[in-house]
Structure 1
Amino acid sequence: MSPRKTPHSRDAYAIFQPMQTRWNDNDQFGHLYNATYIALFDEAMNMTLMGMGLLDHRGPGPIQVVVENGCTYFREVAHPDRLQIGLRVEALGNSSIRIELGMFREMDQAESARAFFVLVTVDNDTRRPIPTPAPQLDAFRSLQATPQS
């Protein structure tokens, strides 16, 4: 087993998206259901990528699809918490991008949870992997940040 991760602070992330928990996000134990964390992380990632023009599944250009994800929990989050989800690009390959996201309650400096998504650039028609185009790589590079706990 690998050692337990420690929470990052806000300065580990390049950009943030505000998110609001909902009443039905809580489970029978009074905190967010674990699948809700991934849904919130995914929504924040998609909002960021769409805002940068990197996510247009209706367009003719290449797109990125999720091939792997995971989440580490540090402290509970529950409705009615207001959240901010930070995003950074952790690694860039020829056709793959690893994105790391941190979930922060509105006033907290340490993350409550951290997720990662591995994306692969694919041709929009064939869905086969292709190299990430230079303009997209440049946009992803602008989201790189150095994690500081």
Structure 2
Amino acid sequence: MTMRDAGRDQFRHFLTIPTRWMDNDIYGHVNNVVYYSYFDTAVNQFLIEAGVLDIHKGEVVGFVVDSGCAYFAPIAFPDAVHAGIRVAKLGNSSVRYEIALYRNNDPLPAAAGHFVHVYVERASNRSVPIPEPVREVLANLSVT
């Protein structure tokens, strides 16, 4: 099954994100670059709420090193976006998320993609193993 056909039951966590007037482009739908901000918001909000990301003082943080998005149907203000996230691969110092964006109550995603974090020591910007508390939280989102 492809991400295009991914039902909501295939995701371990959801965040509802309201669209904003300014998200729409001249064509009357959410601009493609905004979808990436939805990915970023869904993943980082999850990590913050789980207590494993301190965006201001954390010694270890995740840097995005790869992302991609496929678009299947338009989203437009005032739609609500339901971002489903799951962990597709949990490595030593990196994690690959898969994210599906569902418009309102639609059963299939309007867009889907991936987002890769590499964990680094903030002071040196060098990769480090994913801290164990973070790894435990991410394991709960794993699809394998």
Cα 1:60–1:46 shift into 2, 3 Å: closer
Question: How far apart, in 2, do the equivalents of 1:5 and 1:135 lie?
Answer: 28
Question: How far apart, in 2, do the equivalents of 1:16 and 1:104 lie?
Answer: 10
- Residue equivalent to 1:65: 63
TM-score (norm 1): 0.89
Cα 1:106–1:5 shift into 2, 3 Å: closer
How many equivalent residue pairs? 143
CA contact (8 A) 2:3 2:100 kept: no
- Residue equivalent to 1:106: 104
Give 5+ residue unaligned stretches, structure 1.
none
The aligned amino acid for 2:99 is L
Question: How far apart, in 1, do the equivalents of 2:82 and 2:3 lie?
Answer: 20
- Residue equivalent to 1:48: 46
Q: Deviations over 1:25-74 (max 9, x none)?
A: 11111111101111122111111111112221333432111111110111
The aligned amino acid for 2:24 is N
Give 5+ residue unaligned stretches, structure 2.
none
> Deviation above 2 Å: which 4+ runs of structure 1?
4-7, 57-61
Calculate percent identity across the aligned residue pairs.
Answer: 37
TM-score (norm 2): 0.92
